[in-house]
Amino acid sequence: MLSNKLRRAFPLLLITLLLWAHAQSQGVHFEDDLSWPALQAKAKAENKYIFIDFYTTWCGPCRFMKQTIFPQKEAGDFFNDKFICTSVQLDTTNRDNDQVRSWYADAHALVDEYNIHAYPTFLIFSPDGRPLHRVVGSRTTVAAFVKLVSDGLDPAKQYYPLVEQFRNGRRDSAFVRRLAILAHNLYDNATGREAMRAYFAVSNDPFARGPLELLLRYTEHTTDSSFAFVMANVSYAGILYKLGKKDEALTFEQKAIDAAAPQAKYQYVDRLALMQKGEKTWD
């Protein structure tokens, strides 16, 4: 027998569950019971785009999208008549059910093929399975997220057709610079570094502002190939100074002076003096 307290709480719990179920039915419908081949076949048969939510169990922004954004009616109204949607877990845990485990191999293959290393990442495919666009990160409103996904339906704004043009040999300067910046913003650094190298190859002056800005974007670790280029050709402080970041440049130049051998300090001291006076440090 239920206690009086439980009897009084039961109706409220039931109402809460009903409201939650109603909200879920109005939100984005995820076909999480389908395999990757079955998902592609369904999208082709129904002539709908494919939307994949790549998440991990430990990712807070992933949970926010799942619990707050996707259940909303506005999200369902946008997605359900245009997309076949699924969510794919990219980490593995002892609690994974059979459906999650059945995706392990395909999930790993998709991670490798599309360089997915930030979460959540969302991929959009055409009804015939061609990659079209990529969105990275959560958004706090349905409207903001829908705007980003809508770009994936606009041929003028899609990311992966640009990558395809690059793979097919397009190398004009403005194009490869745009691709390198876009790839960096979308955490596709493998593609971005290729585009960056292509941009340097066609640039008349690798030390001009445009190439240097790209160099800084892709220099995150001492193991990066761009870091080796910096060390071999120009000081990091010099790059910052040329880009107009004088205060940061002065800080790094002083660090170089502090770390330099006594017989080498003069070259840094002379350059620091020029920076302090606002004069050019390059030819």
Query: According to the model, what pLDDT value does residue 231 have?
Result: 55
Query: According to the model, what pLDDT value does residue 144 have?
Result: 96
Under a CB-based contact definition with an 8 Å cutoff, are residues 257 and 228 in contact?
A: no
CA 61 → CA 20, 66, 182, 283, distances in Å? 20, 9, 22, 47
Report how far residue 103's alpha carbon sits from residue 9's, in angstroms, rounded to the nearest whole number: 40
Q: What is this structure's pTM?
A: 0.74
Query: According to the model, what pLDDT value does residue 23 have?
Result: 46
Nearest Cα neighbor of 243 from 200, 214, 205 is 214
Strand order through the sheet with 49-55:
83-89, 49-55, 121-125, 131-136
Under a CB-based contact definition with an 8 Å cutoff, are residues 26 and 71 in contact?
A: yes
Across the chain, which has 283 residues, the per-10-residue mean pLDDT values are: 54 47 73 95 97 97 97 97 96 95 96 96 97 97 97 95 97 93 94 90 72 76 64 62 79 72 69 79 61
Query: According to the model, what pLDDT value does residue 160 have?
Result: 98
Query: According to the model, what pLDDT value does residue 80 have?
Result: 97
Angle ∠(104,55,150) on CA atoms, nearest 5: 120
Query: According to the model, what pLDDT value does residue 261 have?
Result: 64
**CATH homologous superfamily of 27-154:** Glutaredoxin (3.40.30.10)
Report how far residue 159's alpha carbon sits from residue 173's, in angstroms, rounded to the nearest whole number: 17
Pair type for strands 83-89 and 121-125? unpaired
Query: According to the model, what pLDDT value does residue 25 have?
Result: 67
Query: According to the model, what pLDDT value does residue 218 have?
Result: 77
Q: Examine residue 120 and say whether the peptide bond preceding it is cis (omega within 30 degrees of 0).
A: yes
Coil, strand or helix at 126: coil
